[in-house]
């Protein structure tokens, strides 16, 4: 029995029941309220104009549909907020009223406090959100492709042979071609490396062996000979290390899911008519 009480699906059912009981109490007195949303062609044009002013281009069909759906979502929540009487003695604009209903949903979702078993499952299923990033220390020698032209690969091969026979502590700052970005890098994450050399370079050097000169590795600048001095791989932390972060992410996910579920159910109550959806026609979007 205890295990069932901890199931997220049960939490959603309880949350949904609570919301729709609240809705029922609030809407009994207003059973004749409109259940049709007409999205006027002028409103479609307004959204297109706003998008064009911001992005200097017309929205794609998918982008326009997303803009319209956001407005419909707002209208649905707004009407449900009115039905619950959330507008009483409140001068806040319509968007704020629609948000009130989402806040109620958020509060109800937050009542389901996760235990460690649930958080561990969430951590296991979303490891990428909580990874402790790998780190790398390395040296690089740069060869300028623009300067050396077709000879750059031959020069890289010759220089690689020379470096491979050199002492570990050899000064390489004068080898190769000048590079303003630096020659030695300590304890860098994948993000830190990619910020200087690009993601392809970062991905490649994290695969290189430690302690030997290898390459060439290409970046947007040219070719690089690289010696990895130390590397630690990315690791998944224990729940004890990141419990608060996992809990916050879990709660945020539940709020999103609850709001989406609530919106999906409420939207079924409305017939949505989008005027001017096509040449000489209007689109009617009903419940599925």
Structure tokens at 263: 């919106």
User: What is the CA 70 to chain-centroid distance, rounded?
Assistant: 18
Domain segments of the chain: what residues?
2-127+238-285, 135-232
CATH 3.10.50.40 fits 135-232, yes or no: yes
69 exposed, middle or buried (CB, 10 Å; 0-12, 13-18, 19+)? Answer: middle
Supply the pLDDT for residue 277.
Answer: 58
Q: What mean pLDDT is reported for the chain?
A: 80
Residue 28's pLDDT is what? Answer: 46
Q: What predicted TM-score, i.e. pTM, was given to this entire model?
A: 0.54
Confidence of residue 203 (pLDDT cuts 50, 70, 90): very high
The yes-or-no verdict on residue 176 having pLDDT over 90 is no
Average pLDDT of the segment spanning 107-131 = 84
The helix or strand, by DSSP H or E, that contains position 38, with its residue range, turns out to be strand 36-39
pLDDT of residue 175: 85
Q: What is the pLDDT of residues 226-260, one digit of tens each?
A: 999 999 989 999 999 999 999 999 988 888 888 78
Q: Predicted confidence band at 105 (pLDDT cuts at 50, 70, 90)?
A: low
* pLDDT digits 0-9 by tens, 150-162: 899 999 999 999 9
Q: Please tell me the predicted confidence (pLDDT) of residue 32.
A: 39
Alpha helices in 113-238 (DSSP H): 116-125, 145-148, 152-164, 190-197, 199-205
Q: Which of 276, 272, 234, 277 is nearest to 74 (CA)?
A: 272
Check residue 26 and give its pLDDT: 43
Residues 6+ apart with CB under 8 A from 3: none
**Band of pLDDT at residue 265, cut at 50, 70 and 90:** confident
Query: Residue 156's pLDDT is what?
Result: 92
Please work out, in degrees rounded to the nearest 5, the angle formed at the alpha carbon of residue 16 by the alpha carbons of 14 and 17. Answer: 65
CA gap 181, 217 in Å, rounded: 15
> Rounded to whole angstroms, how far apart are CA atoms 120 and 62?
37
Q: Tokens 């000048």 map to which residue?
A: 178
pLDDT value at residue 216? 94
């Amino acid at each position: 029995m205890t295990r069932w009480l901890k199931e997220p699906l049960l939490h959603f059912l309880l949350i949904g029941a609570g919301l729709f009981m609240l809705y029922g109490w609030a809407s009994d007195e207003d059973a004749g309220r409109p259940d049709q949303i007409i999205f006027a062609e002028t409103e479609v044009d307004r959204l297109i104009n706003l998008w064009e002013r911001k992005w200097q281009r017309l929205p794609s069909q998918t982008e326009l549909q997303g803009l319209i759906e956001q407005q419909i979502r707002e209208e649905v929540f707004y009407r449900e907020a009115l039905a619950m009487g959330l507008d009483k003695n409140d001068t806040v604009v319509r968007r704020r009223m629609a948000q009130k209903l989402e806040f109620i949903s958020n509060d109800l979702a937050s009542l389901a406090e996760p235990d460690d078993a649930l958080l561990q499952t969430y951590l296991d299923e979303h490891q990428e959100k909580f990874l402790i990033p790998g780190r790398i220390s390395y040296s690089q020698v740069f060869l300028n492709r623009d300067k050396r032209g077709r000879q750059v690969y031959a020069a890289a091969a010759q220089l690689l042979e020379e470096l491979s026979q050199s002492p570990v502590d050899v000064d390489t700052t004068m080898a190769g071609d000048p590079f303003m970005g630096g020659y030695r890098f300590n304890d860098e994450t994948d993000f830190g490396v990619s910020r200087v050399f690009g993601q392809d370079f970062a991905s490649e050097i994290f695969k290189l062996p430690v302690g030997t000169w290898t390459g060439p590795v290409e970046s947007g600048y040219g070719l690089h000979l690289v010696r990895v001095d130390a590397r630690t791989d990315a690791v998944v932390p224990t729940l004890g290390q990141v419990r608060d972060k996992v809990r916050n992410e879990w709660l945020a996910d539940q709020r999103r899911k609850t709001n989406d579920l609530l919106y999906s159910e409420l939207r079924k109550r409305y017939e949505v008519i989008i005027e001017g959806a096509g040449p000489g026609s209007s689109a009617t979007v009903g419940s599925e």
